[in-house]
Amino acid sequence: MTEKAPLIVWFRQDLRIADNPALMQAVQSGHPVLPVYILDDETPGGWKPGGAARWWLHHSLQALRDALADRGATLVLRRGAAAEVMSRLVRETGAAGVYWNRCYEPYAIKRDMALKEDLRARGLDAQSFNGSLLFEPWTIETKQGGFYKVYTRFWHACREKGDPPAPLPAPDNIPGPKPDVETDALDDWDLLPTTPDWAGGLGARWQPGEAGAMARFCEFLETGLEGYKTRRDFPADTVTSNLSPFLHIGDIGPRQVWHETVRHAGWTDATEKFLKELVWREFAYHVFYHLPDLPDAPMYARFKAFPWADDDEMLAAWQQGRTGYPMVDAGMRELWQTGHMHNRVRMVTASFLVKHLLLPWQAGEAWFWDTLVDADLAVNAFSWQWVAGCGADAAPYFRIFNPIMQGSKFDPDGAYIRKYVPEIAGLPDKYLFAPWEAPDDVLHDAGIELGKTYPKPVVDHKTARERALAAFKSLPENEPA
């Protein structure tokens, strides 16, 4: 009996077996299934994965490879411009078609549409599915047929649609084609960082892959969800889910998160607060789909006239966590050491960059892109524009986070700051958030010499705030015609 031609399942940001529509559809077709991942550093241009995301990708691919092998399939790894690599692979294998789950970056949409058209013109089966979002970006519309720019209205529109579809189970068996197809060695891709401390810092905190995602999610449901609504803004607490990197790479899907959260806890205040954060991710994709230049240009054109500063020394101080403001420095050091930063602290550090230092949000976006394990093009760009005041549902320009008050309010006992800024750990809580206000004898007793063991503030908060307000007020009130 002649074996059917294989169907290629092209894995991208869906590195899991469960709730994978493209994989399930291919398995159910009765064709042998050939799983493929292509490392494409060409098509994204300047937005190829950054260093921390590449570390995560390496380990997620390892986990996916093992999970597929357990079910009888072999993950094929190739590298290059994805459309060209896929076209060659189809010819090599005599594939009957290619299935994939959709990506929403503009370069990916353009590439995938062209590939689908080419495959179908050759008489092959080319299908794409939704494996990354609760709802496709174009399915949520205003009554006028446009897209939403205010989150609350977007949330209500999503709720009016009802619960998202239930997640799909993992297939028990994935029959692979024979003979074997040539594949790259994962280690040859050099995805892991070369700095040992950074690699160790990431590995100590994270377990990438589908099993790691489910373990983290189950732990959150058991120990974090109940206190999520009231304690999520406190970075020293452990109530946040830390699911963002798993969601970005697709170790877990949002439908799994939605339905399992409701099944576990019912619809409580904590459940709703948590799911609203999941839908905030959807909102970012919704806006990004309709405004594909979001990572590069302000959503509102009048912000192009903003008088940004150009100061490499200030940018480096921010990147390295030596601004002299402990809450900011703790966040930037957490980012460097772990590839992650607590959400509240992300807002504080981002606000400090764009409003205290008047440095462009794109500079912060680029740094986060390279250092975050959850570096997601839609969410990263959307969030930076939100803080800068030039994006959807943006914080008003006069909302300038006070890094001193943010520290004392959300890290009142200093546990978070002392962990990441240990050189000032000996300060009493009274002075921990503004060391420059401590008397000389208190600094001496704590072993601190400002300007040597810990930086003096790079800017004065009051002066910086007034300068930022003046800069924002200088913008034209209306959008250019």
CATH number of 133-167+209-290: 1.25.40.80
Sequence spans of domains, the chain: 7-131, 133-167+209-290, 301-473
**Third-level CATH fold of 7-131:** Rossmann fold (3.40.50)
- pLDDT tens-place string over residues 221-276: 999 999 999 999 999 998 999 999 999 999 999 999 999 999 999 999 999 999 99
**DSSP states of 268-307:** -HHHHHHHHHHHHHHHHHHHHHH-TTTTTS-SSGGGGG--
The span from the CA of 15 to the CA of 210, in Å, is 7
Contact by Cβ (8 Å): 251, 16:
yes
**Known active-site residue 384:** yes
Q: Is the pTM of this model over 0.85?
A: yes
Q: Is 308 a catalytic residue?
A: yes
- Is it the case that residue 347 has pLDDT exceeding 50? yes
Report how far residue 104's alpha carbon sits from residue 130's, in angstroms, rounded to the nearest whole number: 10
Catalytic residue among 155, 258, 280, 336: 280
Identified catalytic residue from 84, 136, 260, 343: 343
Q: Is the pLDDT of residue 1 over 70?
A: no
- Active-site annotation holder among 318, 336, 367, 384: 384
Measuring CA to CA, which residue among 315, 378, 370, 380 is closest to residue 346? 380
CA dist., res. 476 & res. 481, Å (int): 12
pLDDT of residue 196: 43
Handedness of CA 11, 13, 15, 16 (dihedral sign): negative
Among 3.20.20.70, 1.10.10.10, 1.10.579.10, 3.30.9.10, name the CATH number for the domain at 301-473. Answer: 1.10.579.10
Mean pLDDT score of the chain, rounded to an integer?
A: 94
Helix runs in 224-253, H state only: 228-231, 244-249
Catalytic entry in 42, 136, 277, 423: 277
Pick the catalytic residue from 84, 226, 308, 436.
Answer: 308
* pLDDT reading at 201 higher than 70: no
For residues 101 and 131, the answer to whether their CB atoms sit within 8 Å is yes
The residues facing 454 across adjacent strands are: 450
Say if CB 456 and CB 450 are below 8 A apart: yes
Distances (CA, A) of 285 to 26, 154, 274: 26, 12, 18
Single out the residue of 439, 193, 431, 392 nearest to residue 288, CA to CA. 392
- Does 343 qualify as catalytic in the annotation? yes
Of 258, 361, 367, 386, the catalytic one is 361
